[in-house]
Amino acid sequence: MRTTSAVHGVLVTYRRPAELATTLQRLCEQTRPLDTLVVIDNDSDPATKHLVDSLTTLRAVAYVAAPENLGPAGALALGTGQVLRTAGATDWVLFFDDDDPPAAPDAIEKTTTFAERMQVSDPALAGVGIVGARFDIRTGLTVRVPDDELGGPVAVDYVGGGQLPCYLAGAMADVGLPDARLFFGFDDLEYGLRLRAAGYTLYVDGDEWATLRSASGRTGLDHRPSKLVRPVGWRDYYSTRNLVWILRSRGRHVAAARFMAVRIVGKAAYNATRSPRLAWSHLRLGVRAGVDAYLGRMGRTVEPE
């Protein structure tokens, strides 16, 4: 089955040539091939350019070397901007990670078919996906959709990256590009909240989501397990900074303060008796993340390791 609208892809890659080759091969094998694909290379590697340029089974593939490492958020913004210059309002735009290829040859066909079916039943539709979540803006907490709701269309506040998020080009043109200032982490949440605030809706295919949960052994959970004791690094910094910034930019100052108290101070206190060194490292980087969020220091402020 072919969709009546064009389907465009934006793929972000960074120093994963083997994984990228696998993902590109999977894209070439899709029963519903992409009409265009933009590959954003955050490393500007000539070998990656050669790999992309050598593709002959996809219709229109463009390699774009990022001017610097823009992170996933910046690369998606760059690629989406290029796609929207020529895409029609009723076209679909899918995001891909270089290390997360489509799980099956009909993955894109299933996703776009679901998107078009939902568009008929809900004209406010902006996007669909395979996984997602709801978000309580008052508390700053992600709300897991219960297992018993996973059947048919499931309304969510954002669709998860890495699992074929698919957006309507017209809605993207309306609300703007993904926020490049986030650099790494929660760009999918921010974009979903922006679409929802503009009056658009987002859905996940509950049947596909239920199958994925079952296959990964994630059924029967009330919430995601908390990993309080773990190495502290640049990923923690960006996840903390970005979520605090998202909450503050939407006027949820109490939620932002509560999140910092739990994520920064609470986790450091929990780790103090187990690993004082880890606790101090977490507190120092967490405080920096909170301060940067409040002062609006966004973008690539901590170098990825």
Q: pLDDT for 168-184, tens place per residue?
A: 999 999 999 999 999 99
Query: Does 226 reside within a domain?
Result: no
**48 and 19 within one domain:** yes
pLDDT-derived band at 34, boundaries 50, 70, 90: very high
Cα diameter, the chain: 60
How far lies 60's CA from each of 55, 63, 81, 142, in Å? 9, 10, 16, 37
Rounded CA-CA distance 149/74 in Å is 34
Query: Does 143 reside within a domain?
Result: yes
CATH number at residue 121: 3.90.550.60
Residue range 99-113: mean pLDDT, rounded: 95
**Structural domains of the chain, count:** 2
Residue 226 has pLDDT above 50, yes or no: no
**pLDDT given at position 229:** 43
Query: Does 199 reside within a domain?
Result: yes
Residue range 186-214: mean pLDDT, rounded: 96
**pLDDT given at position 227:** 44
Query: Does 227 reside within a domain?
Result: no
Closest CA to 191 of 226, 165, 212, 218: 165
Query: Does 185 reside within a domain?
Result: yes
Contact yes or no for 182/71 (Cβ under 8 A): yes
Query: Does 176 reside within a domain?
Result: yes
**150 and 60 within one domain:** yes
**122 and 69 within one domain:** yes
**pLDDT given at position 56:** 80
Domain hosting 35: range is 7-215
**197 and 97 within one domain:** yes
Contact yes or no for 136/60 (Cβ under 8 A): no
pLDDT-derived band at 273, boundaries 50, 70, 90: confident
DSSP classification of residue 85:
T
Query: Does 302 reside within a domain?
Result: no
**84 and 159 within one domain:** yes
**pLDDT given at position 263:** 80
Contact yes or no for 121/197 (Cβ under 8 A): no
**242 and 120 within one domain:** no
**pLDDT given at position 163:** 85
**144 and 105 within one domain:** yes
**177 and 63 within one domain:** yes
**198 and 245 within one domain:** no
**144 and 26 within one domain:** yes
Q: What is the pTM of this model?
A: 0.92
**273 and 168 within one domain:** no
**188 and 85 within one domain:** yes
Q: pLDDT for 130-142, tens place per residue?
A: 999 999 998 888 9
Query: Does 262 reside within a domain?
Result: yes
